[in-house]
Every structure is written in C-alpha cells, then in structure tokens.
Structure 1
C-alpha cells in the first residue's frame, strides 16, 4: 500500500536527515548543495525504499541555519523527532529505514574527515537520541 506524505512532511524528513549530516560537518555554506549527491554517493540510499527514498531525493533542499551548531541543532533535532512521528503514523515500517539512513549518512560524513572526532561522535549521539534509536541505530 502506498503511503503518501505531504510536501511539508517530506521536507521535515529531509530537514532532519540533511540537518543531521550538517550538524556533524558543521560546514561551510558551500557544502549544503552537495548533500543530495553525498547521500546518494555514500550508498546510504540503497537501503532506503518508498517513502523515505522519495522524501530524501525529491523536492527542494531544506533551509538550514548556518550560524552555529546550536542553531543547526535547534532545527534538526525537532525535525528528526517529528519525522519519526510522521513515519510512525503514516508508514511505521519505514521508521527503521529512516533511522538507519540518517545515522549511516552522519557516520560516513564523520569518517570522511580523518575518522570520527569526539565532537562528531557527540553530534551523532544527539542525532541518534532525537531519532529515538538505541545504540544499534534500530
């Protein structure tokens, strides 16, 4: 059965996912345009299906704050929590898919720069907490 998410719901999923990566990178503004490609290139989308894949690969890029980690977090963590609520309501079988894609993307992003720093590991832990995932990411 096809589950339809509204454009706003899709953007919430995307804001949480891309924000999670952004939080890890705490990047310069130029990197935002690379997110869609890096999600695909990292191979994390191969596990995604249906609703999650559609939400993360279609539509506009989310607008994320760039001023500080705290600002990014203030948008990202609520978006992740809301994304899990949306999926729980509309496509519960997709919740573990979303969690694993977001965590894999955040983890691969952290590893891309000389291994995972303590600050990056802490950011990933906050993302995991917002997703309501346990230590295994499920």
Structure 2
C-alpha cells in the first residue's frame, strides 16, 4: 500500500476546479438568484465533510477561475479536471479517491435538491459528473 503524498499547488487547484466547478454546473443547470444562495450553502455543507488531503485541497489556496462565457466552456474545463483529480489521488493518496468522488457527488446532489427538487437538467449534469469521476474502463 502506498503512503499518502502531499499534493502540489497545481494538483490542489485541479481537485478544487473539479469540485467547485461541478457545483457550479449543477447550480447553473437550473438557475435562480435566490436558489443560488441556498445552493452555495448546501455545497459548503458538503465540502465541510471533507477530510485529509481532499479537505486541504479544497480549503487552501486560491479559488479556481472558471470561464464566464458559456456553460459549455465551463463543462469542458470541469469534467476533465474531475478525471485528472481522480488520477492525481489514485497516484498520491489512493485512500482519498472514494472520498473525493463521494464528496463531489454529495455536493452536486445537495445543490440540486435544495431548490424545488432535482430538475431534469440538473440530473443530466450530475450524470456527466458521475461519468467524469468514474474509473477508466
């Protein structure tokens, strides 16, 4: 069994881009001004459940800079970041792969459920997030 290794700043940013970006994608799938506030609180609650390497990655350093032009651009950045995050954790902290996956999916689910239940567009985004987090075939 490999020992946990410290993540570089760039690796931490990759984990953060994936996690925060996933929440943004779900929130943006069914937008609403007041819902956005509740969704932010819901995501924070899920992220507070993090521990170890994942918690450090999500709480240390700058926030990721996501594209502002379109949801498609955000998705094209975030989904690959989720896959890279899983690869990083598999190499440096294998015990945290499941933690990261569960945390991202829990945050996405909480965001989707906080306002009027899970809309079809939110469910579709969560499915794409789940796929991005999956082990390669």
| TM-score higher than 0.5 | yes
Question: After TM superposition, which residue ranges in structure 1, 4 or more long, deviate above 4 angstroms?
Answer: none
Q: 5+ unaligned residues in a row in structure 1: which ranges?
A: 134-138
What is the TM-score with the length of structure 1 in the denominator?
Answer: 0.83
Give, in whole Å, the separation in 1 of the partners of 2:4 and 2:89.
13
1:43-79 per-position Cα deviation (integer Å, ceiling 9, x unaligned): 4432x21100000111100001122221111000010
Structure number with higher relative contact order (C-alpha < 8 Å, ≥ 6 residues apart) = 2
The 5 A counterparts of 1:1-138 are 2-26=4-28, 38-40=42-44, 42-46=45-49, 48-132=50-134
Aligned length: 128
Higher Cα Rg, which structure: 2
Q: Is the 8 A contact 1:52 1:94 kept in 2?
A: yes
Structure 1 position 38, deviation (Å): 4.9
What is the TM-score with the length of structure 2 in the denominator?
Answer: 0.84
Q: 5+ unaligned residues in a row in structure 2: which ranges?
A: none
Give, in whole Å, the separation in 2 of the partners of 1:45 and 1:94.
15
Q: Is the 8 A contact 2:25 2:71 kept in 1?
A: yes
